[in-house]
Amino acid sequence: MLFLRCQPRVPSASAPPFRPRVRVAAPLGVRVTGGRRGQAVVAMASADARLAGIASSIRVIPDFPKPGIMFQDITTLLLDPKAFRDTIDLFVERYKDQGITVVAGVEARGFIFGPPIALAIGAKFVPLRKPKKLPGEVISEEYSLEYGTDKIEMHVGAVQANDRALVVDDLIATGGTLCAAVKLIERVGAKVVECACVIELPELKGRDKLGDRPVFVLVEADA
């Protein structure tokens, strides 16, 4: 996996300095077999170029929603058609041959990235929503917040036991919301193949909450 530190688009006195960090674990979306290393390196290089554009299109807003939080704002990525296109392409390249039958998107920013991926890979799209938004019969999963709890809901019948699911959100922080989303899907007997996010805040250790369920992200940022 290729990682690039998010570059603040609107630098401010309280934003941390940009420290480029590229870590290569495995080529993005490419299986390296036998003598295909040259092809893998080319794929990595092109993924690298797209990731740089994606990372630099994300805006960091200090002290939102409260003091001390550096908010990763993807709305500026959405204003850059190439960066948005590249984001979707990177996910689609990874998932198109994995037999994914359903993409579940977490309200509301998961609704922006999930459907284009679903459409491109021919999967269903299932919105996972805050309470009382879905009109039909639902199942709910509660999860902890810093103070109190929240809930997400899914329509009964949207996901079947033989579905292979991808869960999509813009960002993974503590992993609370994603974990609740995964549990909803597993409760109906389906398999969560992976969780996919544009951004990860690794200091908040969201992956720990998700246990051995795979998480794939495009860029990392400081919490």
Partner 1 sequence: MGEEASCNAISEMEAATNARPAKENGRAPAVAEVVAQEAAADPRLQGISDAIRVVPHFPKHGIMFNDITTLLLRPRVFKDAVDLFVERYRGMRIDAVAGIEARGFIFGPAVALAIGAKFIPLRKPRKLPGEVISEKYVLEYGTDCLEMHVGAIERPGERVLITDDLVATGGTLCAAIRLLERAEADVVECACLIGLPKFKDFYKLNGKPVYVLVESRESDK
Q: Does 84 bind partner 1 (CB under 8 A)?
A: yes
Establish if 80 lies at the interface with partner 1 (CB under 8 A).
Answer: yes
Mention every residue, 6+ apart, whose C-beta is less than 8 A from residue 20: 4, 5
SS3 of 122, please? coil
Nearer to partner 1, 19 or 132 (CB): 132
Judged by beta carbon, residue 30 or residue 111, the one nearer partner 1 is 111
Query: Cα(46)–Cα(185) distance, rounded to whole angstroms?
Result: 34
Sorted by sequence, the CB contacts under 8 Å of residue 179 that are 6+ apart come out as 143, 209, 210
- Residue nearer to partner 1 on the CB measure, 52 or 106: 106
Find the binder of partner 1 among 8, 28, 44, 59 (CB under 8 A).
59
Pick the closer one to partner 1 by CB: 71 or 191: 71
Sheet holding 191-200, edge to edge: 124-128, 102-106, 164-172, 191-200, 215-220
The C-alpha angle 48, 53, 55, rounded to 5 degrees, equals: 90
- Restricted to residues 98-137, the positions that interact with partner 1 (CB under 8 A) are 107-109, 111-113, 115-116, 118-119, 122-127, 129, 132-136
Can you give the binding site for partner 1, defined by CB under 8 A?
A: 59, 61, 64-65, 71, 73, 75, 78-81, 84-85, 88, 107-109, 111-113, 115-116, 118-119, 122-127, 129, 132-136, 155, 158
